[in-house]
Amino acid sequence: MLHPDIKEVLYSEEEIAKVTKDLGAVLTEEYKDKYPLVIGILKGAVMFMTDLSRAMDCDLELDFMDVSSYGAGMESSGDVKIIKDLDTSVEGRDVLIVEDIIDTGRTLSYLIEIFRYRKAKSIKIVTLLDKKERRAVDLQADWVGIEVPNEFVVGYGLDYIEKHRNLPYIGVLKEEVYQ
Ligand code: XMP
């Protein structure tokens, strides 16, 4: 049953699974001999990361990083704080950053700077969703699952004040929920 806070389902569980499987096949080819360090950005990317990594038929290492980049509102401030750092060194590694959604791009440009400084061999980005029209900095993902319209979306890892991450689909919130 549709959650009462959801106005509309944008992508069903089946659609997300298909996109993830297709990305997994492409990434398998890209990384089959590289033993990449696959870095999930907490908490939003958790669902995507677990499904995507299982769709990658190659050896890889998983790690997580938790950053906070939001000010008081719903927009990224660019003032990124590391809440949890990696357990692994990125030096000399082929790094694949796994994101749930790219919005302004500020969070990822900050992370890329950090991983460059820490001497990663290569740094690439895969994101499930991309809100391209909202970009505030020059940043592009190497692989994008779905381009999304400029609406606040939740589900499949994405939250509104920590709620709705466990919805199996991605949907748009009703305005009255956040107004
Ligand atoms: P930036 O702006 O730095 O932000 O690219 C990326 C992070 O912003 C969050 N974000 C959203 N979260 N629904 C959400 O639940 C959205 O529509 C949305 N847009 C951006 C998300 O945490 C992402 O990692």
Q: Is 158 in the pocket of ligand 1 (CB under 6 A)?
A: yes
The per-residue pLDDT for range 26-76, each reduced to its tens digit, is 999 999 999 999 999 999 999 999 999 999 999 999 999 999 876 555 666
The per-residue pLDDT for range 144-167, each reduced to its tens digit, is 999 999 999 999 999 999 999 999
In this structure, the number of other CB atoms found within 10 A of the CB of residue 91 comes to 10
Walk me through the domains of the chain, giving residue ranges and CATH numbers. 14-151 (3.40.50.2020)
| Of 164, 141, 112, the residue nearest 26 (C-alpha) | 141
Residue 75's pLDDT is: 65
Six token digits for residue 136:
């505030």
The per-residue pLDDT for range 86-129, each reduced to its tens digit, is 999 999 999 999 999 999 999 999 999 999 999 999 999 999 99
Q: Is 107 in the pocket of ligand 1 (CB under 6 A)?
A: yes
The per-residue pLDDT for range 130-147, each reduced to its tens digit, is 999 999 999 999 999 999
State the amino acid at position 97 in one-letter form.
I
Q: Is 76 in the pocket of ligand 1 (CB under 6 A)?
A: yes
What was the ipTM of the complex prediction? 0.94
Q: Which residues contact 173 (CB under 8 A, 6 or more apart)?
A: 5, 6, 7, 152, 153, 154, 160, 164
